[in-house]
Amino acid sequence: MNNFTGLVLAGGRSSRMGQDKALLAVDNETLLDRNVRILTETGCRQVFISGDHQGNRQQPNAISDIQSDLGPVGGILSVMRQLIDSDHQWLTIVAVDMPNLSSQQLKPLLNDLPPNSNGRYFNDSLFPMVIKISRQHIEAIEQQLAGNSKKSKSIYRLVHNIALEALTANDMQAQQFINVNTPQQWQQHLANQQHIQPHSQLKTSNEVTMGHLATKEFKPLNIAVLTVSDTRNESTDTSGKYLADSLIAAGHTLSDKQIVIDDVYKIRAVISQWVASDEVQVIITTGGTGFTSRDRTPEAIKVLFDREIEGFGELFRHISYTEIGTSTVQSRAFGGFANGTSIFSLPGSTGACRTGWGGILLEQLDIRHKPCNFAAHVKQV
């Protein structure tokens, strides 16, 4: 019988949130306490917490990171080192900033795990994951961190270095594996849970010093979503569905949603129609931004631009680098303006759409975001 031990990664600085994410609470239960409970419900006989924040130190099973700047990989290594000489067999790992996680969604990772497995993860999210506690894995992580570079701290690199089995998340799981990193993402989560109205402002303990949101009222935008794919349809379009659901949950309006094949002229025809419309203010596309012969989204759309948003692709790849390492260079994500319509093109994976939406667009399409945002530049309707 497999022996599972839980680990909640709670060592991040929470700099974008402005307060310790582990201590954010819904229904009087902090995210830290919630994740400990969920791991216990899955059958973990003991749950540890990594990180040195004040709230963590109050926990009986808190384990300090070996070094404060090594990220989640360092946290995993710290806990493995402490458990290696015990009878702990498997480490079930979750990130503290996953407020939608449930014990039910963890079960595919744990069920029928063969003894010779190195562990498992979901290919679009990385966390949650299960890793075998072994000296071989400790040595592999130590060797990775010895690189002393940004990519040496990459969870994506760890997953591949120790050859974890990749599982495919369904739509429900993909929604439950979302992280919250900013006040707006936390606000959106609370709105989804119907604890607050979608556009009410997040209240935090250091509200006065947080300049993420301006005092003006939220202004919903009309946003169209285009999925570029030769194979997907409405039932399999997880990326387009994620974008549509996310923009609606943020308070925006879904103007239109379509799927077109990887054809330059078909893509350009749909985008041109939306750009010429008096109603569509923002367009988000997913798919066709790679380097295969069929990836032609940039060639289809960029010729329509009045002005390119160079920083969008640059920032997307910067964020993506922390998730997938150097593979991000094969993403040609881009943005621009055409006839007062802002256009943002993301890769086709649901994970990339989460990165683009949660890491950039959620804030940049909010008129309240300081010091500047793209909502202030789109056409008026």
The tens digit of pLDDT for each residue in 132-177 reads 999 999 999 999 988 777 777 888 888 888 899 988 876 666 667 8
CA-based nearest residue to 46, from 104, 96, 103, 87: 87
Instruction: Indicate the pairing of strand 222-228 with strand 165-167.
Output: unpaired
Distance, in Å, from the CA atom of 27 to the CA atom of 190, rounded to the nearest integer, reads: 11
pLDDT value of residue 333: 97
For residue 322, give the nearest of 149, 128, 77 by alpha carbon: 149
Domain boundaries, the chain: 4-175, 182-376
Distance of CA 14 to the CA centre of its chain: 15
The per-residue pLDDT for range 334-376, each reduced to its tens digit, is 999 999 999 999 999 998 999 999 889 999 999 988 889 999 8
At the second CATH level, the architecture of 4-175 is Alpha-Beta Complex (3.90)
Tens of pLDDT, residues 88-99 = 899 999 999 988
Kindly give the residue spans of alpha helices, DSSP state H, lying in 277-368: 297-301, 310-324, 350-356, 362-364
CATH number for the domain running over 182-376: 3.40.980.10
Q: pTM score > 0.85 for this model?
A: no
